Amino acid sequence: MDNVLEVRNLRKNYSRFELQDVSFTVPEGCIAGFVGNNGAGKTTTIRGILNLIHRDGGQVNILGMDMYGGKESEQEIKNRIGVVTDNGGFYGMFTLKETASLFASLYKNWDDSVYKDWIRKFSLNEKQKIQELSRGMKVKFSLALAMSHHAEFLIMDEPSSGLDLLTRAQILESLREYMEREGRGVFFSTHIATDIEKVADIVILIDKGRIVFEKEKDALMEEYRIAKGDSRDLTGEAEELCISLRKTQYGFTAVTSRTEDMKRLIPDVVFERPDMEEILMACMGKGSEEYGKSTVYERCQTR
Ligand SMILES: Nc1ncnc2c1ncn2[C@@H]1O[C@H](COP(=O)(O)OP(=O)(O)OP(=O)(O)O)[C@@H](O)[C@H]1O
């Protein structure tokens, strides 16, 4: 299987923020969810990938081509991918129809029937001006444009943030539909764990400009458990097995990937399945008063 996206040691230094050797891959046929808190570095990574900012190092390959290999390869890549960003870079006074005809003239593979189909599915009115659209409508329109030139790969920066449940579900469903054709891939950033749970095949977690892990979602869900028990049973050795830990006078609640060792040390421990949010919170060091973030990193880092 080929990779639709390969990012190697991407670096960007701002005065108060550093993107630190960000590396990951997105294989063909996969939806990759790029998750992290506000300010974790998601947009900076996406801008770096798309060559929209000056980077301080790193390599990016999209659809097997070097994104930084010069104007020609960059142009070829941009013709073959679809990009959905927050504001879409549209001109507010233009109608949807005018904007679409501009896009149609820019893309070699523009397919008007696909475009019309998405406009209908998203219940958009082509006579409306961009400035009259709600945020949800703008995202839908941006996505419709991105999918209407047979893009082989979609890159989306927080497509679902600030949208109501129904619109979010529609956006996620359209991604699934887009992926029905072979040889495609999606990379989308989000800070909403349930979106990851619903559509992602791969989860890439970023925190403070560093990749914490890159894992298959199903493997991730299998790897971690919530452990519950009596705080008096929690020895130093047992605490070492916890990725995050909360103690109250009634007992402890921890996230761990070391269930067998935990059971050996605390025979009465009870395990439950965590949801995606609980796993991500633990791996970002949230919900833990006992452990510093560096400790959490060491335990989560897979490479
Ligand atoms: N042009 C810039 N100059 C200086 N610092 C910047 C610039 N752009 C971004 N940053 C900083 O880089 C950090 C990461 O920002 P980024 O937008 O990549 O985060 P994010 O994960 O996309 O966050 P959010 O979920 O809030 O959109 C932030 O601390 C931000 O202030």
For the chain, the farthest-separated pair of C-alpha atoms sits apart, in whole angstroms, at: 69
**Of 269, 28, 49, the residue nearest 155 (C-alpha):** 49
Complex ipTM > 0.95: yes
- CB-count burial class (<10 Å; 0-12, 13-18, 19+) for 272: exposed
112 within 8 A of 105, measured Cβ to Cβ: no
pLDDT (0 to 100) of residue 285: 60
Q: Is the pLDDT of residue 287 over 60?
A: no
Q: How confident is the model at residue 77 (pLDDT cuts 50, 70, 90)?
A: very high
Q: Mind listing the pLDDT tens digit for each residue in 209-222?
A: 999 999 999 999 99
**Of 294, 284, 196, 211, the residue nearest 44 (C-alpha):** 211
Does the C-beta of 209 come closer than 6 Å to ligand 1?
no
Q: Is the pLDDT of residue 119 over 70?
A: yes
Look at ligand 1, atom 6, and give the residue with the nearest C-alpha.
Answer: 14
**CA 43 – ligand 1 centroid, Å:** 7
Q: Which residues contact 155 (CB under 8 A, 6 or more apart)?
A: 5, 46, 49, 50, 81, 82, 83, 84, 187, 188
pTM for this entry: 0.89
Q: Which residues contact 78 (CB under 8 A, 6 or more apart)?
A: none
- For residue 53, which atom of ligand 1 is closest to its CA? 1
**CA 17 – ligand 1 centroid, Å:** 8
Mean pLDDT of 103-113: 92
- For residue 36, which atom of ligand 1 is closest to its CA? 21
State the Cα–Cα distance between residues 23 and 7, nearest whole angstrom.
Answer: 5
- For residue 191, which atom of ligand 1 is closest to its CA? 25
Mean pLDDT of 97-109: 92
Mean pLDDT of 86-95: 80
Specify the higher pLDDT residue, 284 or 140: 140
Look at ligand 1, atom 5, and give the residue with the nearest C-alpha.
Answer: 14
Mean pLDDT of 165-180: 92
Mean pLDDT of 167-175: 92
State the Cα–Cα distance between residues 15 and 34, nearest whole angstrom.
Answer: 24
Q: Mind listing the pLDDT tens digit for each residue in 122-167?
A: 999 999 999 999 988 999 999 999 999 999 999 999 888 888 899 9
Q: How far is CA 207 from the centre of its chain?
A: 12
Does the C-beta of 255 come closer than 6 Å to ligand 1?
no
Q: Which residues of 274-297 are buried (b: 16+ CB within 10 A; e: fewer)?
A: bebebbbbbbbbebbeebeeeebb
pLDDT (0 to 100) of residue 114: 94
Look at ligand 1, atom 2, and give the residue with the nearest C-alpha.
Answer: 14
Does the C-beta of 38 come closer than 6 Å to ligand 1?
yes
Specify the higher pLDDT residue, 290 or 243: 243
Q: Mind listing the pLDDT tens digit for each residue in 225-276?
A: 999 999 999 999 999 999 999 988 889 999 999 999 999 999 999 999 999 9
Spatial strand order in the sheet of 153-156: 81-84, 153-156, 185-190, 31-35, 202-207, 210-216
Strands 185-190, 31-35: pairing kind: parallel
**CA 207 – ligand 1 centroid, Å:** 12
Q: Mind listing the pLDDT tens digit for each residue in 38-72?
A: 899 999 999 999 999 999 999 999 999 999 999 99
Q: Which residues of 44-65 are buried (b: 16+ CB within 10 A; e: fewer)?
A: bbbbbbbeeeebeebebbbbee
pLDDT (0 to 100) of residue 90: 82
State the Cα–Cα distance between residues 242 and 300, nearest whole angstrom.
Answer: 11
Q: Is the pLDDT of residue 20 over 80?
A: yes
Does the C-beta of 161 come closer than 6 Å to ligand 1?
no
Q: Which residues contact 117 (CB under 8 A, 6 or more apart)?
A: none
**CA 41 – ligand 1 centroid, Å:** 6
Place of tokens 């764990």: 193
Look at ligand 1, atom 11, and give the residue with the nearest C-alpha.
Answer: 17
Specify the DSSP class assigned to residue 95. B
Place of tokens 């029937």: 113
Least confident of 198-202, 224-228, 280-284, 291-295: 291-295
State the Cα–Cα distance between residues 9 and 160, nearest whole angstrom.
Answer: 27
Does the C-beta of 43 come closer than 6 Å to ligand 1?
yes
**Of 61, 52, 156, 175, the residue nearest 118 (C-alpha):** 175
Q: How confident is the model at residue 86 (pLDDT cuts 50, 70, 90)?
A: low
Domains along the sequence of the chain with CATH? 3-219 (3.40.50.300), 224-300 (3.30.70)
Q: Is the pLDDT of residue 302 over 60?
A: no
**CA 249 – ligand 1 centroid, Å:** 39
pLDDT (0 to 100) of residue 88: 66
